[in-house]
């Protein structure tokens, strides 16, 4: 009887462990590829939370009213901003700046791991200078993390 009780308790705790809540966090690095070092480069991490459902509407054939949520309600003013160096300066591409950014980004990723966040995946994109009259460009990378949510 005692063994059956112990097995039941262990099974219950196992169930609770597997049904634990997970939370996700996205960290974004934006690195300027604007010529002459005129751009801005940063790591951005939102400190505020948003519920996507507050800004979502469902369109149907019978009801196609547009989403009336306000952009000002979506904006986040509480965020962490870490300065990075631009890829270019007046002399052209600056490899030391890229190495410095790698060191800062590695430090951020290590700090996230030390705080219990697991890096799930990384995705990158580039909007590059498209010619003589453009002068615009960014290299953006999103780091998606997850960890077990803490029970309050």
Q: What is the pLDDT of residues 119-144, one digit of tens each?
A: 999 999 988 766 676 667 888 999 99
pLDDT of residue 60: 84
Q: Does the structure show a pLDDT above 90 at 99?
A: yes
The sign of the CA dihedral 105, 108, 113, 119 is: negative
Asked if residue 42 is part of any domain, the answer here is: yes
pLDDT at residue 94, rounded to an integer: 87
In this structure, of 8-17, 51-60, 131-140, the range with the lowest mean pLDDT score is 8-17
Query: Which pTM does this prediction carry?
Result: 0.77
If you average pLDDT over residues 43-61, what whole number do you get?
89
Question: Distance of alpha carbon 56 from its chain centroid, rounded?
Answer: 20
Asked if residue 17 belongs to a domain, the reply is no
The token duo for 101 is 């950014």
Query: In the prediction, which pLDDT does 128 show?
Result: 75
In a domain, 29, yes or no: yes
- Judge whether 72 lies within some domain: no
Residue 148 lies in domain: 22-47+81-152
Q: What number is the average pLDDT over the span 106-116?
A: 97
Q: Is residue 8 part of a domain?
A: no
Q: What is the DSSP letter of 52?
A: G
Residue 146 lies in a domain: yes
Terminal CA-to-CA distance of the chain, rounded, Å? 34
Among 2-11, 45-54, 86-95, the range with the most confident prediction by mean pLDDT is 45-54
Domain count for the chain: 1
In a domain, 131, yes or no: yes
Give the 3-state secondary structure percentages of the chain, helix then strand then coil, rounded to 5. Answer: 30, 30, 35
On whether residue 71 sits in a domain, the answer given is no
């Amino acid at each position: 009887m005692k063994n059956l009780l112990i097995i039941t308790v262990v099974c219950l705790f196992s169930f609770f462990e597997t049904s634990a809540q997970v939370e996700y966090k996205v960290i974004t690095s934006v690195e300027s590829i604007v010529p002459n070092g005129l751009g801005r480069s940063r790591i951005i991490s939102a400190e505020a939370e948003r519920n996507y459902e507050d800004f979502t509407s469902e369109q149907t054939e019978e009801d196609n009213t547009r989403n009336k949520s306000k952009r000002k309600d979506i904006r986040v003013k509480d965020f962490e901003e870490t300065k990075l160096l631009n890829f270019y300066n007046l002399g052209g591409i600056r490899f030391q700046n890229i190495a410095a950014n790698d060191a800062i980004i590695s430090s951020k990723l290590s700090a996230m791991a030390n705080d219990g966040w697991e890096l799930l995946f990384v995705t990158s994109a580039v909007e590059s200078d498209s010619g003589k009259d453009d002068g615009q460009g960014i290299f953006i990378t999103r780091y998606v993390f997850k960890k077990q949510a803490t029970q309050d």
